[in-house]
Structure 1
Amino acid sequence: MDAPRPRGIVVFGGGTATNSLVDVFESIRESRNCSLSYVIPISDNGGSSSELIRVFGGPGIGDVRSRLVRLIPGSDTDAERASIKDLFNYRLSTDPLQARLQWLDIVEGRHQLWSNISSEKRELIRSVFNLVNLEIVKRARPSSVFNFSKASIGNLFLTGARVFTGSLESAIYLLSTICSIPPTVSTLPAINTNFTHHISAGLADGTQITGQNSISHPSAPTSLPDDDSLGNGSDRSPQQQQQQQREMEEHDLIEDATLPGSLPTLRKQYIDFSKAAADDDDLPARIARIWYINPYGHEIWPGANSKVLAAIRGARAVVYSVGSLYTSIVPSLIPRGIGAALAGGGGPQFKVLILNSANDRETGPRAAPLTATDFVRAVARAAAGNSSGSSNSGGSDGDADVRIGGAEEVRQYVTHLVYLEGEGAPRVDRDELAALGVECIRVYGRRVDGMLRYDEAGLTRALEAVIGKPEMLRSRRNTSGQ
């Protein structure tokens, strides 16, 4: 009889930052011969995803596509897998007309991207492209045509597969199969949905910012429609209310996938934005809370993907990876059920936060940047906010701190902190964290283009020291049995 597979690893994190550590997690998975699950948020409404959401609706799938393509094995040595990676990572021209011509070359099989892809895979992929192209043509209106500028080919594929199957997880399964991703590695959307789920951020000074792109990148503060019961309408001047009303009326003349009367900031195209500008533009105050909203801006409490809950309950370790704290990590922690799965008995033994090597727009302002303790509390608050079905789904600096004030409560969600020391890195107070029951492990890093980065070998050793190498676990079992 085959020995039971060791309990798995679950990694929370979306975007390019976690992509840079995929080889670390894969090394640990291989050495332990266990499952590895990546939990990805679906709330991103920036870049080419914003145009797909505007025309098709549905979740933001850019981070899902990015992770799936990053997980393609052997793309450095296998010509076909390298070509598949290039295809699904390809972005069309910034010029809309040129981009549309490039898209047609790909759909019709003429583009050089197809050169090393076998005919059976090419025709399977093209069938999805043909479907999404047909849907784009069907949805064209005088007031609204699809903008192919900077469109991600992989995002178009996932959208077409989701529209065809009616299932986000089926679309992910199809792309995973084409990319030859091992069955023991899963990419799981935090919420399994065919609908768009946006997030809002509440700042400590009372400012509210609506939509992930507006949180992550410089933008004007946004607010809900006039509704005094939500504490937003009375704070706006008549001129601001009139401007918002005009914006809504203008957008209602455009026929696309957005519902009439939905918030203008959720209906805009965010194809062009500067990540570099975000690093130089402080939020006016710290983020106090993140929550999900419907298209009209009202708070909702979506349930977590059941496969994510099962992965957490079957995991030995959960890792909160590097990346944007409030838009890459927290949106995957606040759906209903996540907190209970993390804190419940029989769940993961180790919950490791890999601290970012620098603060960003979300974890500033630079005058008072978040410390390592602030990161730990933010993760714990987010998870604790939904563990009992509370409406405080994103955590706050008020009552939620009472629930997670002591070491016992914090350790339900974070047991270890892995961090770097260097200029610009968040401050780590080991005594303060020890009082919360969090064990700290320092890892040496290296400078890449002036930025402090984790050394992969060092990070792998640190995670193995926490989770335990397979031979270490066997040694412990043998010792305990004597």
Structure 2
Amino acid sequence: MRIVVIGGGTATNAIAPVFAESVYEVTYILPISDNGGSTSEILRFFGGPAIGDLRSRLVRLIEVGPLRKLLGYRLSDNDTVAANDWSLIVAGSHEIWTDIEPQIREMYRAFAIYIHSELLKKSAIRKFDFRNASVGNLILSGARLFFGSLDSAVEFVLRTARVQPNMTVIPCINNNQTSNIAAVLANGSVVIGQTEISHPTLDTKPTNQAEDNLEFSFAHPSLQASQISFSKSENAPLPCPIDRVFYVNLYGNEIKPSLYARAQNELQTSEAVICSIGSLYTSIIPVLILQKFGFCAPSQFVLILNGTSDRETEGMKPEDFIVAINRAIAYSKNVLLVPQKPVVTDVIYPSGKDVSVISEAGINVFPAECAHGEYNLESLSSALKLCLFEKKRTGLISMSDLS
């Protein structure tokens, strides 16, 4: 069965084994708007798309071994130690290269050398901060710059790492521009940048990128601040609920980019799309709101509810997730009025959660064991199979039933 899974970040990584079963041919479509952590330093130097979520998913799909260790390797939080460590990696003398097949090692090292040479070109103007840098992010960035295509860089890793042939990873946007998102809150205020929405930064000093980038000097202040230091454990709620999420250019103005054509094709040829667990407004909706997504999505649309709430969704009920998704799909079709007919056809939820509103309204619901916010993979797999392979479909609901 061909399915598309939407969702970036570590949450979906945790349940990836459920999708890795041989009964599925899986395409992961991931967002490229994460501007936090070491990704923010790469964006500061080179611009381009954020690759952290893509790299993280690739590492999860690669078989445990030396190549997975290389792409998942993170440098020290001490800048001097990290810079020295990186120099050894570039020179090929670091122990991280041990046990990687010679022909594979030299291909990956070539991209480490390539990105390093690009860093050196800019070193006279500003210094790259290697603290906590992801080696996988740097190597993928080198490949992206060399190929001129993020999708090609991802495909390079999929092929050379010999990821299972039934697994595909695609960026939701494939260009060499930076994609940022913003959120309008219910009180009308606007929060710009994914990290500021989901995990506020602990380090707000300006990056001084304007020194050699005149365009950046006019950028929105939230997009100029360093995002290296942030806490994923920080779960302080937003001042008020999120009303909607949208893409912005460097200056904070709303734009409407389109879903990558290859991703569109994958959706059109799939039998079901699954919105996986993770951050609703910064991991899932940034894919759903891309123009043309709604015209490509298959008729079966599955939502896997999170086991716990986060900063973005505190206080939201299951039916609120469905409303948010329906609004996102309407936006992707560039329509002003949200259709009465919702997109979500099936919901997998943690056992014990109250889903009576959506169940009584006609959406198919499937419980799965979920202890302390983490799904039992065997139970989740059973629920997913029942959902996807169950032939009898029930009627859909009216959005008025959820208001």
Report the TM-score, using the length of structure 2 for normalisation: 0.92
Seen in structure 2, the aligned counterparts of structure 1 residues 455 and 338 have a Cα distance that, compared at 3 Å, is: same
* 1:362 paired residue number: 312
* 1:3 paired residue number: none
Summarize deviations over 1:261-302 as a string: whole Å, max 9, x none.
01121122211111112x1x1101100000000001111000
Q: What is the 5 A alignment of 1:64-463?
A: 64-73=54-63, 75=64, 82-142=65-125, 144-218=126-200, 251=208, 253-256=210-213, 259-277=216-234, 279=235, 281-342=236-297, 348-364=298-314, 369-387=315-333, 389-390=334-335, 400=337, 403-405=338-340, 409-410=341-342, 413-421=343-351, 428-430=354-356, 432-434=357-359, 436-446=361-371, 451-463=372-384
Q: Secondary structure at the match of 2:211?
A: coil
> For the residues of structure 1 that align with 2:151 and 2:324, how far apart are their CA atoms?
29
State the Cα distance separating 1:434 from its structure 2 match.
3.3
Summarize deviations over 1:163-200 as a string: whole Å, max 9, x none.
11111111111111221113331111111111101000
1:55–1:256 contact (8 Å) kept in structure 2? no
> For the residues of structure 2 that align with 1:43 and 1:438, how far apart are their CA atoms?
31
Q: Secondary structure at the match of 1:326?
A: helix
Q: Secondary structure at the match of 1:138?
A: helix
Which runs of 5 or more residues in structure 1 are unaligned? 1-5, 76-81, 223-246, 343-347, 393-399, 474-482
1:373–1:428 contact (8 Å) kept in structure 2? no
> For the residues of structure 1 that align with 2:214 and 2:108, how far apart are their CA atoms?
25
- Count of residues in correspondence between the two structures: 391
Q: Secondary structure at the match of 2:170?
A: strand
> For the residues of structure 1 that align with 2:209 and 2:262, how far apart are their CA atoms?
37
Q: Is 2:9 the counterpart of 1:15?
A: yes
Q: Secondary structure at the match of 2:216?
A: coil
> For the residues of structure 2 that align with 1:363 and 1:101, how far apart are their CA atoms?
41
> For the residues of structure 1 that align with 2:52 and 2:360, how far apart are their CA atoms?
39
Summarize deviations over 1:318-347 as a string: whole Å, max 9, x none.
1100000000000010110001112xxxxx
Q: Tell me the percent identity.
A: 38
Which runs of 5 or more residues in structure 2 are unaligned? 393-403
Seen in structure 2, the aligned counterparts of structure 1 residues 288 and 461 have a Cα distance that, compared at 3 Å, is: same
1:57–1:257 contact (8 Å) kept in structure 2? no
2:77–2:132 contact (8 Å) kept in structure 1? yes
> For the residues of structure 1 that align with 2:190 and 2:211, how far apart are their CA atoms?
26
Higher Cα radius of gyration: 1
Q: Secondary structure at the match of 2:271?
A: strand
Q: Secondary structure at the match of 1:336?
A: coil
Seen in structure 2, the aligned counterparts of structure 1 residues 127 and 252 have a Cα distance that, compared at 3 Å, is: closer
Q: Say what the alpha-carbon RMSD is for the aligned residues.
A: 2.1
> For the residues of structure 2 that align with 1:137 and 1:262, how far apart are their CA atoms?
25
Q: Is 2:386 the counterpart of 1:465?
A: yes
Q: Secondary structure at the match of 1:68?
A: helix
Q: Secondary structure at the match of 1:11?
A: strand
State the Cα distance separating 1:381 from its structure 2 match.
1.0
